């Protein structure tokens, strides 16, 4: 299984061998474009090399810096939006206790981690400012452009606060900046104030930046083994480079989703039965949404957390318009070891489940739902993750990054730009400058 494997059984009756054969040439073209680095957006392919061409010095500096942050802060605030926070939030959630920020430091073993600068809510910022008033704080502000409004507003607010609290020099020792190596307002502020800086490479876009300091520094602060994440991604970069469809699950996934799209299945639901995957699903949505939604084309990426959303979206998935397909993330090994207790009176009638692991019950819900969805006309594939560890999650990250690039090339759009996001920004700035 090698940590990650895909089961396409639930897609078989929706995709014929003939359709696969007819579309194989598109996959070959997409593979060649990536391999020869001559496709659309080919100046943004740095993500492909991140796991293999590592900057060991930078990794050491990230780890040292993470230790310093752990020693100096009760609360570590990551200020960023879109690709500048989703990857870090996704991975930190996966490896953290579900109640991490409520645990005492002795159990958590790192500062409380809070994400900010990913909205324009006054309530959120007011609550944050009040929450950190009596706490020691460190900030990592992350923005490739250095001009994005949401993190800029939050950063200015926190910078003023920290300077009042620790003085200008004291604040500078608690502010860490991840941005472009030479341009942008954030870069200039960081230089002027001598903040510790980390660079987002020119050839890596925001949504492909989780394996740069954008994701690695916050992960290291949360005691995640960043080298294991990179090792997993490196393994995936070799594993998913085989042009033969039968030997490459990443390419099968990319091709099948495009075949389904051409048959009117233009919504993909990424589902997980583990709530800590919620932000991984958000990361996936951004990756595919910003990469594929162009030229009035694209598969609309959505996500559901199950079984929770079976009580909200279940009906729609089962019997709504048949324009959807589903990809399920399933973790095989359970380490929670919690069983349903038996009771003498059995008032709630649940003794038929007594002494069964909760994960076993969850897995039966998953199996039952999977069958119901396939029977109900939803093509479904399952991504099986053997065990929830850094190595396998590193593989999963690279799997989706590569699948997204290949899929966008099959769709004939540039995976690495996002011209559409300028439209709302222009209107907003016109209104704000009035």
CB 215 within 8 A of CB 91: yes
- The SS3 call for residue 279 is helix
Instruction: For residue 27, give both structure tokens.
Output: 């996959």
Report the relative pairing of strands 137-143 and 112-116 from DSSP bridges.
unpaired
| 232: contact with ligand PA5 by CB under 6 A | no
CB of 62 to ligand PA5, least distance (A): 18
| 148: contact with ligand PA5 by CB under 6 A | yes
Instruction: For residue 21, give both structure tokens.
Output: 């054969």
Q: How far apart are the first and last CA of the chain?
A: 59
What is the pattern of x (binds ligand PA5, CB under 6 A) and - over residues 348-387?
A: ----------------------------------------
| 84: contact with ligand PA5 by CB under 6 A | yes
- The SS3 call for residue 217 is helix
The single residue listed with the structure tokens 């019950």 is 361
| 290: contact with ligand PA5 by CB under 6 A | yes
**Which of 14-22, 100-108, 143-151, 266-274 is the region at the interface with ligand PA5 (rule: CB under 6 A)?**
143-151
- The SS3 call for residue 388 is coil
Catalytic residue among 282, 290, 292, 390: 290
**Which of 137-145, 191-199, 232-240, 392-400 is the region at the interface with ligand PA5 (rule: CB under 6 A)?**
137-145
Strand ranges of the sheet holding 137-143, from the earlier edge strand across to the other edge: 112-116, 75-79, 137-143, 175-179, 196-199
> Active-site residue 296, yes or no?
no
Identify the burial level of 84 via C-beta atoms within 10 angstroms of its C-beta, where 0-12 means exposed, 13-18 middle and 19 or more buried.
buried
| 82: contact with ligand PA5 by CB under 6 A | yes
Question: Residue 288 or residue 409: which is nearer to ligand PA5 going by CB?
Answer: 288
Catalytic residue among 311, 347, 426, 434: 311
CB of 208 to ligand PA5, least distance (A): 7
Instruction: For residue 297, give both structure tokens.
Output: 């084309």
Per the document, the length of the chain is: 434
- Binding to ligand PA5 in span 186-225, by CB under 6 A: 205-207
**Which of 81-89, 188-196, 263-271, 373-381 is the region at the interface with ligand PA5 (rule: CB under 6 A)?**
81-89
Question: Which residue minimizes CB distance to ligand PA5?
Answer: 206
| 140: contact with ligand PA5 by CB under 6 A | no
CB 285 within 8 A of CB 44: no
Question: Residue 51 or residue 206: which is nearer to ligand PA5 going by CB?
Answer: 206
Question: Residue 180 or residue 231: which is nearer to ligand PA5 going by CB?
Answer: 180
Give the one residue of 30, 81, 306, 413 binding ligand PA5; rule: CB under 6 A: 81
CA gap 393, 390 in Å, rounded: 5
Give the one residue of 3, 39, 83, 293 binding ligand PA5; rule: CB under 6 A: 83
| 414: contact with ligand PA5 by CB under 6 A | no
Number of neighbours of residue 298 by Cβ within 10 angstroms = 19
> Active-site residue 187, yes or no?
no
Phi, psi dihedral angles at 115 (to 5 degrees): -105, 135
Phi, psi dihedral angles at 161 (to 5 degrees): -60, -45
> Active-site residue 31, yes or no?
no
CA gap 13, 4 in Å, rounded: 23
Question: Applying CB under 6 A, which residues contact ligand PA5?
Answer: 81-84, 143-145, 148, 151, 205-207, 290, 418
Catalytic residues: 290, 311, 425
């Amino acid at each position: 299984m090698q940590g990650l494997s895909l089961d396409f059984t639930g897609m078989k009756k929706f995709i014929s061998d003939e359709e696969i054969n007819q579309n194989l040439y598109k996959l070959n073209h997409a593979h060649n474009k990536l391999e020869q680095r001559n496709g659309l957006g080919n100046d943004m392919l740095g993500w492909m090399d991140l796991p293999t061409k590592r900057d060991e010095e930078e990794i050491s500096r990230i780890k040292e810096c993470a230790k310093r942050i752990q020693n100096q802060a009760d609360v570590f605030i990551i200020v960023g939006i879109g690709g500048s926070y989703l990857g870090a939030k996704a991975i930190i959630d996966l490896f953290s206790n579900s109640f991490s920020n409520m645990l005492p430091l002795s159990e958590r073993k790192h500062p409380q981690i809070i994400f900010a600068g990913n909205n324009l809510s006054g309530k959120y910022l007011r609550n944050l400012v009040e929450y950190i008033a009596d706490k020691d704080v460190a900030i990592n502000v992350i923005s490739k452009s250095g001009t994005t409004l949401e993190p800029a507003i939050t950063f200015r607010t926190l910078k003023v606060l920290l300077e009042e609290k620790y003085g200008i020099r004291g604040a500078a020792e608690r502010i860490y900046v991840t941005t472009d190596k030479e341009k942008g307002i954030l870069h200039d502020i960081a230089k002027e104030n001598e903040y510790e800086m980390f660079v987002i490479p020119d050839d890596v876009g925001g949504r492909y930046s989780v394996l740069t300091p954008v994701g690695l520094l916050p992960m290291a602060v949360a005691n995640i083994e960043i080298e294991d994440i990179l090792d997993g991604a490196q393994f995936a970069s070799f594993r998913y480079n085989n042009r033969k469809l039968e030997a490459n699950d990443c390419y099968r996934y990319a091709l099948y989703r495009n075949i389904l799209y051409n048959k009117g299945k233009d919504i993909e639901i990424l589902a997980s039965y583990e709530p800590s995957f919620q932000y991984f699903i958000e990361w996936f949505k951004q990756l595919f949404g910003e990469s594929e939604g162009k030229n009035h084309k694209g598969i609309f990426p959505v996500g559901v957390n199950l079984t929770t959303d079976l009580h909200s979206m279940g009906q729609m998935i089962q019997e709504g318009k048949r324009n959807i397909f589903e990809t399920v993330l399933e973790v095989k090994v359970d380490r929670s070891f919690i069983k349903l207790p038996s009771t003498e009176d059995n008032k709630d009638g649940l003794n038929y489940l007594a002494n069964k692991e909760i994960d076993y019950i969850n897995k039966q819900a998953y199996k039952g739902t999977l069958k119901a969805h396939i029977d109900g006309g939803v093509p479904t594939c399952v991504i099986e993750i053997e065990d929830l560890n850094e190595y396998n999650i590193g593989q999963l990250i690279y799997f989706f990054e590569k699948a997204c690039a290949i899929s966008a090339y099959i769709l004939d759009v540039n995976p690495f730009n996002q011209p559409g996001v300028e439209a709302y920004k222009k209107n907003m700035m016109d209104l704000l400058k009035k």
